[in-house]
Copies of this chain bind each other. A is one copy, B any other.
Amino acid sequence: MRPIDALMDALPDGRVLTDPDVIDSYARDRTFLEPGKPLGVVLAASRDDVVTTMKWASEHRVPVVPRGGGTGLAGASVAGDGAIILSLARMTAIRELSPADEIAVVEPGVITADLDRAARKHGLMYAPDPSSYEISTIGGNLATNAGGLRCVKYGVTRDSALGLEVVLADGRILNTGRRTMKGVTGYDLTGLFVGSEGTLGVITAATVRLRRAPSGPPATFAAEFGSLRDAGAAVSAIMAAGCQPSLMELLDRATLEAIDDMRTFGLEAGTTAMLIGQSDAVDGQAVAERMERICMENGASFVAVSSSPQEAEELIGLRRMAYDAKERLGACLVEDVCVPRSVLPEMIIAIEAAAVRHGVKICTVAHAGDGNLHPVFIFDRGTVEPPPEVWAAADDVFTHALELGGTLTGEHGVGLLKQRWLAMEAGPVAAEVQRGIKAVFDPLGILNPGKAI
């Protein structure tokens, strides 16, 4: 009997898919990375299914690649030869939502925006909102410690994770964390699992923190700049002035053109950058007007505070469209550097210089209030891999980010895509202790091998 047959026998009918085309569609994420030839896909419907799969995988030493919505941008759920793909997308129960305690207990397949909507019914929100939040899952968000637009004010996914139920490599169940707002019993295993990209265990439930939703719609401004540097300086000035925006997004000319090409919004000839900001504070309108003034003082050619929530929604909608718009231009290498906020203008200059130096088209959007930039390197869809000049430009961008005190990845994770640069940032001691931690949880090395560390 083949190992996969034993797995099919052990799981309820219909859980394992082995059609090669179906497998291939589950073996990819949103990167250009080509998968190998996995053995099959498990559509887990319960924790028991996950336990069965992991026990089988340990027995047969089969690599397991957990996945949620497949919206990752670093290759963490791209599956290799001989692996079993473990989809958690069918575990979609919101087991509990307690308005009084401001927590929810959710399964990993819950779509992030669905949890947010469920919370809003009680005057609460689930704050982390990656751009993909209508199609990505809580499990995937936890595995990558996803950021998002609102995290400039409310923090990243880890800041909302209180406790986890995890199936370990050998099928044992580990409960981490707590239901309380605070707790220091033992090491922070919850924080360790968040962002570990499925390399330490499979999350089958999470207790997450909800937050009070703002009482009214946020006040929104949009500013156009003739210079990216001016826009970067405006961001620094807004943050330094203590405006505490709930969203602060920067789009460069190339991104704006791609969006305008997809849905015409009236891009002006002289506009090089657009800054979109929001305040959801009680005095949000006054804060938005203050941010508007700071933009003018920093050289904006045009600034407007939205007069209606609909107008504001359209602006934010443009931003959320950015990645789809870029995918129309060609294949995309999406990067994710994060730098200290004060050097945002320098980082933008370095990205522009890399584009010119290597003759590569780079479109940049940024969660600017966090110093987190997404330079997207566009290349010909016909090639399997990015051409050398794209890698060279990406090298330059990473080198500069690290020189400026930054990091390779603010929110997308390491996956496969950033392995080639990892040593530049982490250093040999960190690499060694991380391998040691990995071995504690996964001595056989079957959990998403080759990812994250």
Contacts and interface: CB of A to CB of B under 8 A. Distances in A.
Interface of A: 98-103, 123, 144-145, 147, 151-152, 155-156, 158-159, 168, 172-176, 178-189, 191-192, 194-196, 200, 212, 215, 236, 239-240, 242, 244, 281-283, 338-342, 367, 370-372, 405-414, 418, 422, 425-427, 429-430, 433-434, 436-437, 439-441, 452-453
B370 A100 contact: no
10 contacts: A99-B240, A100-B341, A151-B182, A174-B433, A175-B429, A180-B406, A182-B338, A184-B413, A282-B283, A436-B440
A182 B101 contact: no
Given A100-B341, A440-B436, A185 B426 contact: yes
Nearest to A426: B186
A405 B282 contact: no
Nearest to A436: B440
A237 to B, nearest CB: 10
Contacts of A452: 186-187
Contacts of A430: 174-176, 186, 189
A184 B99 contact: no
Contact of A340 (B123, B168, B180): B180
A144 B182 CA distance: 12
Contacts of A240: 99-100
A147 B180 CA distance: 13
Give the number of copies in the complex: 2
Contacts of A370: 180-182
A343 B376 CA distance: 49
Given A407-B185, A429-B168, A371 B180 contact: yes
Contact of A372 (B156, B182, B427, B440): B182
A101 B342 contact: yes
A265 to B, nearest CB: 28
A100 B437 contact: no
Given A174-B429, A282-B282, A179 B340 contact: yes
A413 B186 CA distance: 8
A185 B100 contact: no
A183 B429 contact: no
A183 B342 contact: no
A101 B239 CA distance: 9
Contacts of A188: 145, 158, 188, 191-192, 194-195
B100 A339 contact: no
A391 to B, nearest CB: 19
Contacts of A282: 281-283
Nearest to A367: B182
A453 B178 CA distance: 16
A410 B340 contact: no
Given A186-B434, A433-B440, 19 more contacts: A100-B240, A102-B239, A147-B182, A152-B181, A156-B182, A158-B188, A179-B405, A180-B371, A180-B406, A181-B372, A183-B338, A183-B410, A184-B413, A185-B418, A185-B425, A187-B195, A187-B453, A212-B242, A437-B440
Nearest to A197: B184
A269 to B, nearest CB: 33
Contacts of A192: 187-188, 191-192
Given A147-B182, A412-B184, A189 B433 contact: yes
A182 B194 CA distance: 13
